[in-house]
Structure 1
């Protein structure tokens, strides 16, 4: 929903003082013999929510708080929004603006959330709710795909020397994520590396929530995963070129894996699970590409058979590695009680890869991946 349309909805839903019906009403045709008459009406204010119109700011705040606690975010947004719009001098107005933004955010109503948070936000100097609202503004802009605006807010916050390391690193990591989403991969890598370096330089790493360095390593892995995906295996280019591209693709896979493993080692449950899921998916993807790739065109029939036999061995190693990573990821998730879309996806992928390996086995021993191959590469 565009900003202009959002304001139109607000005007209808919340009411705007000054929508009046003054002036001439529809007039009946005057008779030929009588004078024309004009009817005038008194000005009225349209509020469109008569139920809340009866409540004062204390009652609205209590109603919004109760609704939010009950996860009734529609009602919470309604009560808090009414207070913010119609009680400008209330002691609860700032809290209501923020809480209305949160309620809209829970409903994924990003434009409405942005409007509420932006009235509070002060990324250059704000503290407390003004600083928190600035982060929320960036988050809503991210979901609205206004990446440049989000990056500008986060860059301002990250540069503030008056903020603790936790908040500056948080801003830097989120900036890097937005840059990546905007397709600015070089900028994203530089920003994420700077966030990681800032974290590593801290004497007391407990100053920083482990969520953010784990997220930074995860998205470094995502950068290399994108590079990996950009390398296409094309047998039509010949065996030598195919081997070269396959080796380069494997190097990028290992680099991505290295960053995902660093994310796991930070110890944050959410990102550890996400990273493990991505590692398994990389091996699964490489398997799929190798299976679907035809033999190089310059090989004769006999050479193609040998090629397929060697390829099959490598494929089974990839499947085994993928299973190993998926199982370790699920063990970690169960140990820490993590529940997320990554966990569900990992379970589904594990079942699929096991079925593929079983179908491919045909009684041959499955080679176990060397432990050294799971060490990080950069």
Structure 2
């Protein structure tokens, strides 16, 4: 249920494992040979980027370290065009890919990674993870999932395994393949829990733990939404029971996300949890009514239903209030907190206005709810991702 936010929200920069934030241009990456890992430099940058003498690997690495990506691309490409040794070729292709990432050209970065793999047949987990993130930036979700699968197979640290599984699970989520996504997201959490119990690694942060738990909750949330409420009454009873069971699973999973204690995902899960209760209210309120009820009976039915569902509204308000209070106490601001505040104001206004629909169903509390669910990237007021959220490619914020 991610917020009623449009898909036009600014994308979070992809953060490569080396720590440099990347957001790549939306070009398609094709199949390549090693020679295809060509220079991609804007016309105005060509003169400044061109090396004045023979390109050397130390010069290319220095340009990359200094953030001069255009010059680094030119130098790495020039070096690869010479007669480098195998060790130098490995280093140069990886440097070239990272420089392309800095130039926001994920398609070119992927070509460099693929050229490396074409030359050496295999690579480190980091290569596959970075390539998977580039594919995600381009919206090529199947390729992203496959690349993260390769990263997981090569990862050794639990934290790297959790990240690969979380991102792979998200890619399948984006593809709508929930049956493939959910086990991967669950496995990511299991790897984390096992590592904590064994004391095998102290995680530097819990971002990907929160991400895995959040999207697992989103899987249950989407399944909750997909359950229709149908007549006759026997069918309706079965549908409600199934829908309520999925609500409980989604609620538990969002609460587990909050326990991961990463504020980005705490805020996201809090908002989604409140919206989950709104959607349950709407499903009950707007369920089909038997045809045999006359007008007077329908009025009595809706008034009784409103009374019975009032605790659901109160629950949604309580969740939104807690989410907002937590964010304010920690000084955290994001689109999630802004949307939480807006939702809270809407619900409070509804209660203060009183019931203007006597004998009729109450208007939907979550009219923006759609079958789609995705998590979202959060941008600061300046339009740039805030430093605290610059942790990875995060999908667009979309209603669940």
Both proteins in one fold, TM over 0.5? yes
Q: What is the deviation of 1:117?
A: 4.5
Structure 2 contact 278–316 (Cα < 8 Å) conserved: yes
Matched position secondary structure for 1:207: coil
Report if aligned partners of 1:121, 1:133 keep a CA contact under 8 Å in 2.
no
Uncovered stretches (5+) of structure 1, i.e. residues with no partner? 16-45, 69-75, 363-378
Q: Tell me: CA distance 1:198–1:318, structure 2 relative to 1, closer, same or farther (3 Å).
A: same
| Residue 258 (structure 1) aligns with | 252
Contact residue 128 and residue 150 of structure 2 kept, 8 A = no
Q: Distance in 2 between matches of 1:186 and 1:327?
A: 33
Deviation at 1:178, TM superposition (A): 1.7
Q: 1:169 aligns with which of 162, 167, 170?
A: 162
* Aligned equivalents of 1:252, 1:157: Cα separation in 2: 32
Q: 1:297 corresponds to which residue?
A: 291
Match of 2:71 among 76, 79, 82: 79
Query: Cα distance 1:233–1:198, how it changes in 2: closer, same or farther (>3 A)?
Result: same
Q: Determine the structure 2 residue equivalent to 1:97.
A: 96
1:113-152 equivalences in 2 (<5 Å) = 113-119=109-115, 126=123, 130-152=124-146
Q: 1:118·1:134 contact (CA, 8 Å) conserved in 2?
A: no
Distance 1:178 1:242 in 2: 34
Residue 258 of structure 1: SS of its match in structure 2? helix
- Could you tell me which runs of 5 or more consecutive residues in structure 2 were left unpaired when the two chains were aligned: 1-26, 357-400
In the alignment, which residue of structure 2 is the partner of 1:31?
none
Shift of 1:335: 3.1
What is the distance in 2 between the residues matched to 1:2 and 1:150?
13
Once the two structures are TM-superposed, the CA of residue 267 in structure 1 deviates from its matched residue by 1.2
In structure 1, the partner of 2:216 is 220
Q: Please tell me whether residue 353 in structure 1 is matched to residue 347 in structure 2.
A: yes
Partner of 1:335: 329
* SS in structure 2 at match of 1:250: helix
Which digits, 9 at most, give the CA deviation of each residue in 1:329-373, with x for residues without a partner?
1222223333333222222222222222223468xxxxxxxxxxx
Which residue matches 2:370? Answer: none
* Residues 115/245 of structure 1: CA separation in 2 closer, same or farther (3 Å cut): same
Picking from 28, 32, 43, the partner of 1:2 is 28
RMSD of the TM alignment (CA)?
3.7
State the distance in 1 between where 2:116 and 2:32 align: 18
Question: Does the 8 Å contact 1:63/1:79 carry over to 2?
Answer: yes
Distance apart, 1:77 and its partner CA: 3.9
Contact 1:139 1:150 (8 Å CA) reproduced: yes
In 2, the alpha carbon distance for the partners of 1:225 and 1:280 equals 12
CA distance in 2, matches of 1:255, 1:52: 55
Displacement of 1:48 in angstroms is 8.5
Quote the offset at 1:312 in angstroms. 0.8
Q: Aligned runs of 1:27-42 on 2, under 5 Å?
A: none
Pick the structure with more helix per residue.
1
Query: In the aligned structure 2, how far is the partner of 1:359 from the partner of 1:290?
Result: 21
Alignment of 1:305-320 (within 5 A): 305-320=299-314
Cα deviation for residue 215 of structure 1 reads 1.7
Alpha-carbon distance change, 197 to 63 in structure 1, aligned in 2, over 3 angstroms: closer
Secondary structure, aligned partner of 2:291: coil
Distance 1:205 1:329, change over 3 A: farther
The match for 1:207 among 199, 202, 205 is 202
Report the alpha carbon displacement of residue 284 of structure 1 after superposing the two structures with TM.
Answer: 1.9
Can you list the C-alpha shifts for 1:123-176, whole angstroms capped at 9, x where unaligned?
9964xxx5333211111222333333222222223233x611211222122222
3-state SS of the aligned residue for 1:192? Answer: helix
- Specify whether residues 121 and 204 from structure 1 end up closer, same or farther in structure 2 by C-alpha distance, changes over 3 A only: farther
Correspondence for 1:189 among 157, 163, 182: 182
2:164 paired with 1:159: no
Alignment of 1:265-276 (within 5 A): 265-276=259-270
Structure number with higher relative contact order (C-alpha < 8 Å, ≥ 6 residues apart): 2
Q: Larger radius of gyration, structure 1 or 2?
A: 1
Distance 1:4 1:279, change over 3 A: closer
What is the distance in 2 between the residues matched to 1:120 and 1:270?
35
Checking the alignment, whether the CA contact within 8 Å between 2:32 and 2:111 is kept in structure 1 is: no
Normalising by structure 1, we get a TM-score of 0.70
Q: Distance in 1 between matches of 2:288 and 2:332?
A: 41
